[in-house]
């Protein structure tokens, strides 16, 4: 028996909530499939699948509390009450998750209606990460060390004068460590810390939940409407639901260059900014600034959220390069929630298929600005590159 479990249905990334709201409205009948990808080739000890199934089964007991619903209604006015009523009645269905282990290899597949299964990805990764450290009996830094490291980072970021958010749920060491990090980050009143992607911790510590959409939003649109229409329709549908709120666009699902071809003046004016998640950060900044200038928009009225594997050195380099050219902010994940003296896991869970009306599966792919981050069916990756004229 292990005590690893989720404590709240809101212990999830905010963009899962915002995307679920949009999916309920626009794609209530769509069926999808997700798959766990062990990028770091981690070895899972015997019985890991049993422990994970136990934690997943416990998730069926989670429900949105009245206080959580009030927090959502007060903090997120752009999410309407019918959705919050839906979330109040929602529960995780463990039958949507298939967990299998062979030797040290772990397989996790989620399948079902998109509006239901969309919430699984982040908590599953968080549970896998926490169980990995517990079942391998790996000892982390003390609570005091975790907090002092976090405070040092917050002080350094404050001296740089940049705002930052905590984005570390999916690969956190554990719930306890993320809680310690949030406690440390919210201690100082003059901090430049602005919020968390984790809705539960945002509520617990009285900060803003931060997030818009993820790669799967664009990947689904490519499977549903074709690669050429994916970016444009994904953005259009986002605007249809949120009418200008939640205005940060993720740019690298099918490379930044392709994205900016479709991020025309309308979108460039309507969205507050873009998020960087792969490739060279400084090169991305140059492309973004040039794109705004080409469309007659002052880049200083827009901003980039940088969120790709950040540490203090990267943040300082990006800040020094971008200052005075464009607004910037940072979403820092693993470097905050899993800097505990152990090697962080390199694990992801990706949308791998969308079911067509004839019940056939359409594979989904992601072509980020780093070739090593390409995910999906190799034939479909080549097809996407051909359609989108991507030469690399």
Question: Residue 118 belongs to what domain range?
Answer: 14-139+345-364
Residues 28-70 pLDDT 10s: 999 999 999 999 999 999 999 999 999 999 999 999 999 999 9
Number of separate domains in the chain: 2
Q: Which of 188, 140, 142, 197 is nearest to 169 (CA)?
A: 197
Following CA atoms 369, 208, 190, 302 in sequence, which dihedral angle do they give, to the nearest 10 degrees?
A: 40
Q: Which of 131, 110, 108 is nearest to 120 (CA)?
A: 110
Residues 159 and 112 in one domain: no
pLDDT at 27: 98
Cα 17 to Cα 348: distance, rounded to the nearest angstrom: 18
Residues 329 and 349 in one domain: no
Q: Place 307 in a pLDDT band, splitting at 50, 70 and 90.
A: very high
Mean pLDDT score across all residues of the chain: 96
Residue 331 lies in a domain: yes
Cα 39 to Cα 122: distance, rounded to the nearest angstrom: 16
Residue 374 lies in a domain: no
Residues 88 and 175 in one domain: no
Residues 148-172 pLDDT 10s: 999 999 999 999 999 999 999 999 9
Residues 98 and 181 in one domain: no
Residues 197-211 pLDDT 10s: 999 999 999 999 999
pLDDT at 371: 74
- The helix/strand/coil state of 164 is strand
Residue 389 lies in a domain: no
Please give the DSSP secondary-structure letter assigned to residue 254. Answer: B
Q: Which of 108, 103, 153, 102 is nearest to 129 (CA)?
A: 108
With contact defined as beta carbons under 8 Å apart, do 98 and 77 qualify?
A: no
What's the residue count for the chain? 392
pLDDT at 381: 94
State in Å, rounded, how far the first CA of the chain is from the last one. Answer: 49
**Residue 306 pLDDT > 90, yes or no?**
yes
**Residue 179 pLDDT > 70, yes or no?**
yes
Residue 4 lies in a domain: no
pLDDT at 370: 87
Q: Place 374 in a pLDDT band, splitting at 50, 70 and 90.
A: confident
Percent of the chain with pLDDT over 90: 95
pLDDT at 133: 97
Residues 248-291 pLDDT 10s: 999 999 999 999 999 999 999 999 999 999 999 999 999 999 99
Cα-Cα-Cα-Cα dihedral sign, residues 353, 227, 376, 333? negative
Name the packing angle between helices 14-26 and 227-242 (round to 10°).
100
Cα 316 to Cα 296: distance, rounded to the nearest angstrom: 29
Residue 33 lies in a domain: yes
Q: In what order do the strands lie in the sheet with 31-37?
A: 97-102, 105-113, 31-37, 348-355, 361-363
Residues 244 and 171 in one domain: yes
Q: Place 18 in a pLDDT band, splitting at 50, 70 and 90.
A: very high
pLDDT at 268: 98
Residues 134 and 147 in one domain: no
Phi (first) and psi of residue 359, to 5 degrees: 80, 0
Residues 275 and 294 in one domain: yes
Please give the DSSP secondary-structure letter assigned to residue 372. Answer: G
Extended beta strands in 50-133, E state? 97-102, 105-113
**Residue 372 pLDDT > 80, yes or no?**
no
| 113-117, 280-284, 388-392: least confident range | 388-392
Cα 206 to Cα 204: distance, rounded to the nearest angstrom: 6
The DSSP element (H or E) to which 168 belongs, if any, is none
Q: Place 188 in a pLDDT band, splitting at 50, 70 and 90.
A: confident
Residue 8 lies in a domain: no
Residue 387 lies in a domain: no
pLDDT at 213: 98
Per-residue pLDDT averaged across 8-23, rounded? Answer: 98
pLDDT at 375: 87
Cα 199 to Cα 186: distance, rounded to the nearest angstrom: 15
Residues 254 and 309 in one domain: yes
pLDDT at 3: 81
Percent of the chain with pLDDT over 70: 99
Residues 97 and 153 in one domain: no
**Residue 122 pLDDT > 70, yes or no?**
yes
Residues 117 and 212 in one domain: no
Q: Place 189 in a pLDDT band, splitting at 50, 70 and 90.
A: confident
pLDDT at 282: 98
Question: Tokens 């034939």 appear where?
Answer: 379
Q: Which of 225, 227, 210 is nearest to 383 (CA)?
A: 227
pLDDT at 141: 98
Residues 184 and 107 in one domain: no
Alpha helices in 226-280 (DSSP H): 227-242, 256-262, 265-270
**Residue 1 pLDDT > 70, yes or no?**
no
pLDDT at 239: 98
Per-residue pLDDT averaged across 19-24, rounded? Answer: 98
The CATH number for 293's domain is 3.20.140.10
Q: Which of 195, 198, 52, 233 is nearest to 122 (CA)?
A: 198
Following CA atoms 374, 380, 384, 389 in sequence, which dihedral angle do they give, to the nearest 10 degrees?
A: 90
pLDDT at 391: 83
Residues 119 and 201 in one domain: no
- The helix/strand/coil state of 180 is helix
Cα-Cα-Cα-Cα dihedral sign, residues 21, 22, 27, 30? negative
User: Which pairing describes strands 208-209 and 193-196: parallel, antiparallel, or unpaired?
Assistant: parallel
Ramachandran assignment for 120, one of left (phi > 0), alpha (psi -120 to 50 degrees), beta (any other): alpha
């Amino acid at each position: 028996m292990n005590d690893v479990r989720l404590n709240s249905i809101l212990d999830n990334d905010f963009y899962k909530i915002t995307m679920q709201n949009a999916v309920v409205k626009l794609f209530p009948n769509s069926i999808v499939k997700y798959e766990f990808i062990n990028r770091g080739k981690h070895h899972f000890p015997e019985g890991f699948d049993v422990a994970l199934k136990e934690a997943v089964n416990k998730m069926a007991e989670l429900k949105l509390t009245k206080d959580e619903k009030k927090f959502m209604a007060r903090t997120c006015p752009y999410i309407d009450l019918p959705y919050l009523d839906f979330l109040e009645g929602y529960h995780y269905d463990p039958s949507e998750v298939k967990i299998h282990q062979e030797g040290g290899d772990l397989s996790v597949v989620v399948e079902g209606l998109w509006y239901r299964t969309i919430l699984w990805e982040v908590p599953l990764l968080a549970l896998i990460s926490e169980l990995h450290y517990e079942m391998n009996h790996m000892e982390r830094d003390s609570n005091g060390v975790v907090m002092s490291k976090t405070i040092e980072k917050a002080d350094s970021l404050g001296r740089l004068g940049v705002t930052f958010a905590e984005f570390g749920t999916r690969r956190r060491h554990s719930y306890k460590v993320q809680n310690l990090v949030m406690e440390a980050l919210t201690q100082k009143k003059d901090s430049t810390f602005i919020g968390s992607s984790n809705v539960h911790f945002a509520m617990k510590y009285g900060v803003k939940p931060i997030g818009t959409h993820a790669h799967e939003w664009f990947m689904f649109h490519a499977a549903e409407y074709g690669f050429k229409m994916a970016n444009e329709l994904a953005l259009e549908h986002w605007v249809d639901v949120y009418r200008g709120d939640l205005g940060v666009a993720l740019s690298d699902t099918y490379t930044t260059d392709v994205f900016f071809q479709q991020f025309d003046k309308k979108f460039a004016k309507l969205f507050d900014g873009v998020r960087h998640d792969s490739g060279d950060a400084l090169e991305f900044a140059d492309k973004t600034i040039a794109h705004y200038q080409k469309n007659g928009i002052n880049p200083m009225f827009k901003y980039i959220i940088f969120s790709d594997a950040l540490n203090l050195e990267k943040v300082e380099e990006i800040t020094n390069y971008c200052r005075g050219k464009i607004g910037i902010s940072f979403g820092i994940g693993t470097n905050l929630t899993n800097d505990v003296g152990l090697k962080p896991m390199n694990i992801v869970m990706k949308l791998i298929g969308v079911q067509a009306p004839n019940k056939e599966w359409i594979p989904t792919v992601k072509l980020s600005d780093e070739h090593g981050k390409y995910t999906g069916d190799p034939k479909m990756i080549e097809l996407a590159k051909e359609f989108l004229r991507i030469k690399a």
